[in-house]
Amino acid sequence: MSIKITTELIKELRESTGVSVMQCKNALQEADGDMKKALAILKKTSSDIALKKAGRDAKDGRVLIKTEDLPTQSGKKSILIALHCETDFVSRNEDFINLLSDLGDKALKEGIEKMKEESKDMINHVIQKTGEKIELGDIYEIKGDILGNYVHNNKTAVVVSLEGGNKELARDIAMHITAMKPEYIFQNEITEDIKKTINEIFQKEVANVNKPEDIKKKMLEGKIATYFKEKTLLDQIFIKDPNETINELLEKNKAKIKEVKVYSI
């Protein structure tokens, strides 16, 4: 004997799942009014929907940083997490925002691997509600005594870990990184292959200049030096003070960079 599908049953299922009225009604009809079976049907449906959308591109999305004091030792821990979707419209959807926050909380409290294990069902549920492909982006865990975080427009996130200094300094440097987008933190990150490539690019520019070879050589050296200075964090001019570099700012505050994590959508 089947149970009558009432508006109260549909409302109850909708409130517990957040999916559309018609999806709830169809699931209840298929389950003959059994709430547990209807929930299981909706869960399977969300997985099926996720599979159908797997081939789509999820190039938009949102980034988030969660931070907490470490419980058993001095210092802090930050989680930088990105969640991708297909459109900016969905990235501003409340369910999508809450999903990202919940995933961040789970990674912070239970660890990244545990969060990844449980993320599929959490994500599939929101895929069912939004109708878009949703997938995890990169996730980083950063530990340190001094952590500074900065998120710009929910699309770029930076975490800076310092040895020495303070939280405000670390945040200022994170904000600087967001604005200036350095490709390297330290000069020693620039490999010989990179130097060779940049040398070849600027050689072509200098080759057509009507100057003596010794002048052209100095021009080439100057162009290369300027290029890497602009691309290396420690050599960049601090956006809040044009009279000092990031390296000088750190030295003034007796601080050193331990780690930097950046993610942009």
Tell me the pTM.
0.73
Give the tens place of pLDDT for each residue, 195-236. 888 888 888 878 877 888 888 888 888 988 998 999 999 999
pLDDT for the residue 131: 84
pLDDT for the residue 72: 55
Cα distance between residue 60 and residue 73, in whole Å:
37
Which segments in the chain show pLDDT lower than 50? 1, 49, 51
Cα distance between residue 135 and residue 167, in whole Å:
32
What Cα–Cα distance (Å) separates residue 76 from each residue in 66, 165, 221?
11, 15, 43
pLDDT for the residue 1: 46
Question: How does strand 60-69 pair with strand 76-85?
Answer: antiparallel
pLDDT for the residue 34: 81
What is the set of domains in the chain, with CATH numbers?
Answer: 7-52 (1.10.8.10), 56-144 (3.30.479.20)
